[in-house]
Structure 1
């Protein structure tokens, strides 16, 4: 279980996240919602320790994540994978190598620097790409892919880290409706098939309702809503978004359907 206790982040006089407390059981798919500037990205970055809290603690299975340093911190970042809005791929590298970057914490440093990937690592990376129907793109440079394809590569990279948690920071913000559905389906499949906990920052309420089993709402850095999607009524939406409430409601895609049969991919224990 992920436990967040009194988490706060200050930037000078500004409070980005203000005394947030949460408990997230393993295997949950949690949507973090709220208007731009509400503190959603800062919250996820603190969980991954890309940003350090000003106060509070983050616990995973009873271990204090906020106290980790050095190798232990690198191990945590491998177990707590990030998917970013802007993909964070190396455009000049081929797709397979971008995915293999997710294996860096599992291989000796000299092998990763020289790109001496094992046959097993290559098989894991290729299988992850095939799982998201982009195996045929393995040899292409990442900069030649569409936005939706790049985000699926980023999700494949996160999956090969063999994480306990995936933190997705506005993963569909720059995508069209079709690719929005493809990317959200990919995250839902990871959650459903592997039991990986997913925390996903989302702006569109209908997409959050369609995919998440729990919604957590932030406003001005404070937790103002925590409950199932059906409990988010118009009044709660207005508290979260104010005058932007109507703009935050998009046409919801259908819930993910049956998962198609694809190449097998098994996470190591």
Structure 2
């Protein structure tokens, strides 16, 4: 269980996140929605501890994440894998090595510096790439890939961290509709097939309604909605998005997750 209690982050006099409180059960797929500047990215960065809260607490399975330091903080960042809008890959390195970077918390530093990776880690990284149909790209430089391929590599890197939770910060913001669907299907498969909790910042309301089983709506740093997608009416959405409402309401819905993903979900549900 992830619990956020009164979480606040101030930059000078401005509160980027203001007294946010909610809890997330294991295995959930939660979308954090709201207009640009609502505080979504700052919230995820605080949960991962890339940004420090001004006040409040983050608890995970009873551990006070906000109090972690040193080795324990590094372990938490491995357990709460981040996926970024701009992929954060090392372009000059090949795809496999980029994925193996997700294992840095598990191996001695000399191995990563010398790029002497344990065979079991290499096998894990290749398996992760196969999950997203990009194992054939393992030897290619990351900067030679399309945006959608790079984001799938970033998701594979997150998966090999063997995390308890994945924090995805606008993971499809720079992608076209086809790659948006591929990446969102990949996150859904991780959630349903592996049971990993996903907390995903999304600007698109259609995407959030299609993929998430719960929505947390933010406005001006505050949590103003927390519930099932069906409970988010257009009236509430217009209040939530304000001047951006016309951009996120009434657009053509994204196609349902593809057959391969649906099959994986069925397998997971039957397990």
Report the Cα distance in structure 2 between the residues aligned to 1:252 and 1:76, rounded to whole angstroms: 36
Aligned residue number for residue 242 of structure 1: 242
Matched, 1:198 2:198: yes
Aligned residue number for residue 43 of structure 2: 43
Tell me if the contact between 1:85 and 1:170 (Cα under 8 Å) persists in the aligned partners.
Answer: yes
Give the Å deviation of 1:246: 1.6
- Give the 4+ runs in structure 1 shifted more than 6 A: none
Report the Cα distance in structure 2 between the residues aligned to 1:76 and 1:85, rounded to whole angstroms: 21
Matched, 1:255 2:256: yes
Aligned pairs for 1:168-247 (under 5 A) are 168-247=168-247
Higher helix share: 2
Report the Cα distance in structure 2 between the residues aligned to 1:116 and 1:257, rounded to whole angstroms: 38
Aligned residue number for residue 6 of structure 1: 6
Report the Cα distance in structure 1 between the residues aligned to 2:17 and 2:252, rounded to whole angstroms: 29
Point out where structure 1 has 5 or more consecutive residues left out of the alignment.
Answer: 263-269
Report the Cα distance in structure 2 between the residues aligned to 1:180 and 1:68, rounded to whole angstroms: 35
Give the Å deviation of 1:243: 2.2
SS of 1:53's partner is coil
Aligned pairs for 1:1-269 (under 5 A) are 1-249=1-249, 250-259=251-260
Aligned residue number for residue 267 of structure 2: none
TM-score in terms of structure 2 length: 0.95
Report the Cα distance in structure 2 between the residues aligned to 1:2 and 1:182, rounded to whole angstroms: 27
TM-score in terms of structure 1 length: 0.95
Give the Å deviation of 1:248: 1.5
Task: Count residues in correspondence.
Answer: 262
Report the Cα distance in structure 2 between the residues aligned to 1:205 and 1:178, rounded to whole angstroms: 17
Tell me if the contact between 1:95 and 1:153 (Cα under 8 Å) persists in the aligned partners.
Answer: yes
SS of 2:248's partner is coil
Give the Å deviation of 1:252: 2.3
Give the Å deviation of 1:119: 1.1
Tell me if the contact between 1:100 and 1:125 (Cα under 8 Å) persists in the aligned partners.
Answer: yes
Let me know the Cα RMSD of the aligned residues: 1.2
